[in-house]
């Protein structure tokens, strides 16, 4: 079981590798391929939309093929998409690659998260998402190095090498999954499939959808537009903007690591509350007319606070809704998380086109308010249903 957990940790790095590349590379990409800066929203919309689709249908796929095979196949898909981006001659060539990248991300995200929520402690969920943070931190670092030397295409190739290596490791470990997972655990993975309509009828499910949408919209709005905001509004160079984005993702990784360390001392719900509270001063820093370095600090704190909300909400899924339906609800939660990912960049693009990129922090503040209100309503709903356990 220990070695399998190591493989899952590394798989989470692979889950994060593609997510931050487009945001850190785009200031250089759009000038080379002669596209407006707002065009990045088209690609992120497609990637997220395809991730939503694969997440929605993940329960059936995972029940048929198993978590291990889906993880290996999906990671291979994302690796090939990254390699394709490195050779893309035009923006239009990137669109089918975005489809492949999105489809590869959804099922693996849903499968691994539910698998860990069922079989491992909360500390592992946070540490695993910390390793996701390693993946999304690694990508802008590699891209910043490439931008200062060989160009953004090399940055995508560096990411491909990492992703391809992870794919090979997962393929080699496939027999290990069969030996390690007991027949009892395999039965647990055979979940009851709920339709989207059945889930939508439950108000508590709708509320958790809003929470997941908002927290991931904040995460991706920072990941895609943080670098561009610093370059356009604060006068950073493209290379420095990419490096600042690395600091944001380091904040996310630190937040998830600390949440895992504290999991035996502080309950999951309290860790969610602490993370949500850290977001408030972070966004205030972004709203104030301070020097660029203050915005970098603000982004770091957003990563630090917001980073722990998602994995802890994910971990609570079997506790809040029951193990037998956790895979279906997990898939729907991740789908709505990616709807947030899908909508945030074009909304920022639209509003920035109308009023300028200076309104970017205001949009972050609006998303934060939506998340907090939904979170409070969700907790109240669980308390009324006697499903809230402050000690979990």
For the segment 66-72, the average pLDDT, to the nearest whole number, is 85
Cβ contacts of residue 353 below 8 Å, gap of 6+?
Answer: 38
DSSP state of 148: T
Mean pLDDT of 61-73: 83
User: Is residue 28 over pLDDT 90?
Assistant: no
Rg (C-alpha) for the chain, rounded Å, is 20
- The residue with greater pLDDT, 47 or 179, is 47
DSSP string, 358-379: GGHHHHHHHHHHHHHHHHHHHH
Of 188-192, 263-267, 306-310, 378-382, minimum mean pLDDT range:
188-192
Residue 190, pLDDT above cutoff 70: no
Mean pLDDT along residues 196-203:
87
* ∠ Cα 241 245 246 (to 5°): 120
How far CA 140 is from CA of 9, 16, 179, 240, 296, in Å, comes to: 20, 11, 37, 10, 14
**What integer pLDDT is reported at residue 210 of this predicted model?**
96
Residue 217: pLDDT over 90:
yes
Rounded to an integer, the average pLDDT of 182-201 is: 66
pLDDT of residue 191: 62
HSE of 382, CA atoms in CB hemisphere, 13 A: 21
Say which range, 57-66, 88-97, 167-176, 336-345, has the weakest mean pLDDT: 57-66
Q: Are 4 and 67 within 8 A, CB to CB?
A: no
Would you say residue 170 has pLDDT above 50? Answer: yes
Q: Where are the domains of the chain?
A: 2-384
| Longest Cα–Cα distance in the chain | 58
What does the pLDDT average to over 24-32?
87
Q: Is 201 exposed, middle or buried (0-12, 13-18, 19+ CB in 10 A)?
A: exposed
Pick the CATH number of 2-384 from 2.60.40.10, 3.30.1540.20, 1.20.1250.20, 3.30.870.10: 1.20.1250.20
Rounded-to-integer distance, Cα 242 and Cα 257, Å? 23
What is the tens place of the pLDDT at every residue in 94-127?
A: 999 999 998 887 777 777 877 777 777 767 777 7
Quick one: pLDDT at residue 179? 61
Average pLDDT estimate for 8-18:
85
User: Sign of the CA dihedral 370, 48, 55, 131?
Assistant: negative
281 vs 28 pLDDT, higher one: 281
Q: Are 79 and 160 in contact (CB under 8 A)?
A: yes
Q: Which residues of 78-112 are buried (b: 16+ CB within 10 A; e: fewer)?
A: bbbbbbbbbebeebeebeebbbbbbbbbbbbbbbb
Counting residues of the chain whose pLDDT is more than 70, the rounded percentage is 96
Which pLDDT belongs to residue 292? Answer: 87
Highest average pLDDT, of 55-69, 219-233, 331-345, 356-370, comes from 356-370
- Whose tokens are 């539910």? That residue is 114
Residue 304's nearest CA partner among 247, 364, 368, 388 is 247
Binned at pLDDT 50, 70 and 90, residue 184 comes out as very low
List Cα–Cα distances, 4 to 174, 254, 347, in angstroms: 10, 24, 40
Q: Read out DSSP for 301-327?
A: HHHHHHTTHHHHHHHTHHHHH-GGGHH
Are 134 and 249 in contact by the 8 Å Cβ rule? The answer is: no
Between 92 and 191, the higher pLDDT residue: 92
Q: In this predicted structure, what is the pLDDT of residue 257?
A: 86
The pLDDT score that the predictor gives to residue 178 is 67
**Rounded to whole angstroms, how far apart are CA atoms 361 and 283?**
7
At 275, the pLDDT band (50, 70, 90 cuts) reads very high
Tokens read off for 118: 């069922």
Q: Say how far apart CA 230 and CA 295 lie, in whole Å.
A: 8
Q: Is the pLDDT of residue 245 over 50?
A: yes
Chain mean pLDDT for the chain: 85
Q: Answer whether 59's CB lies under 8 Å from 327's CB.
A: yes
């Amino acid at each position: 079981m220990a070695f399998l957990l190591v493989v899952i940790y590394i798989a989470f790095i692979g889950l994060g590798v593609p997510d931050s590349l487009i945001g850190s590379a785009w200031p250089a990409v759009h000038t080379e391929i002669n596209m407006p800066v707002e065009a990045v929203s088209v690609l992120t919309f497609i990637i997220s939309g395809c991730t939503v689709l694969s997440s929605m249908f993940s329960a059936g796929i995972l029940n048929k093929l198993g978590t291990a095979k889906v993880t290996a196949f999906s990671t291979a898909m994302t690796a090939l998409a990254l390699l394709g981006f490195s050779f893309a001659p035009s923006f239009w060539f990137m669109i089918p690659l975005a489809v492949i990248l999105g489809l590869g991300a959804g099922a693996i995200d849903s499968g691994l998260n539910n698998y860990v929520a069922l079989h491992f402690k909360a500390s592992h969920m946070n540490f695993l998402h910390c390793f996701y943070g390693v993946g999304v931190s690694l990508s802008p670092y590699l891209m910043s190095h490439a931008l200062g030397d060989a160009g953004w295409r090399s940055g995508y190739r560096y990411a491909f090498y990492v992703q391809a290596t992870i794919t090979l490791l997962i393929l080699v470990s496939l027999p290990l999954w069969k030996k390690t997972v007991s027949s009892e655990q395999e039965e647990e993975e055979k979940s009851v499939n709920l339709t989207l309509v059945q889930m939508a009828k439950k108000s508590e499910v709708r509320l958790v959808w809003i929470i997941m949408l908002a927290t991931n919209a904040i995460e991706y709005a920072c990941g895609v537009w943080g670098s561009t905001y610093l370059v356009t509004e604060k006068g950073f160079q493209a290379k420095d903007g990419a490096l600042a984005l690395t600091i944001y993702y380091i904040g996310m990784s630190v937040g998830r690591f600390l949440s895992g360390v504290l999991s035996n001392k502080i309950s999951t719900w309290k860790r969610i509350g602490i993370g949500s509270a850290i977001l408030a001063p972070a966004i205030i820093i972004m709203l104030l007319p301070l020097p660029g370095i203050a915005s970098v600090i603000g982004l770091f704190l957003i990563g630090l606070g917001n980073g722990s909300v998602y994995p802890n909400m994910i971990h609570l899924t079997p506790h809040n809704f029951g193990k037998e339906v956790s895979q279906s609800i997990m898939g729907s939660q991740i789908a709505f998380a990616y709807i947030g990912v899908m909508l945030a960049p074009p909304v920022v693009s639209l509003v920035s086109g109308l009023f300028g990129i200076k309104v970017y922090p205001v949009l972050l503040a609006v998303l934060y308010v939506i998340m907090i209100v939904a979170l409070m309503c969700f907790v109240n709903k669980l308390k009324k249903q006697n499903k809230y356990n402050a000690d979990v």
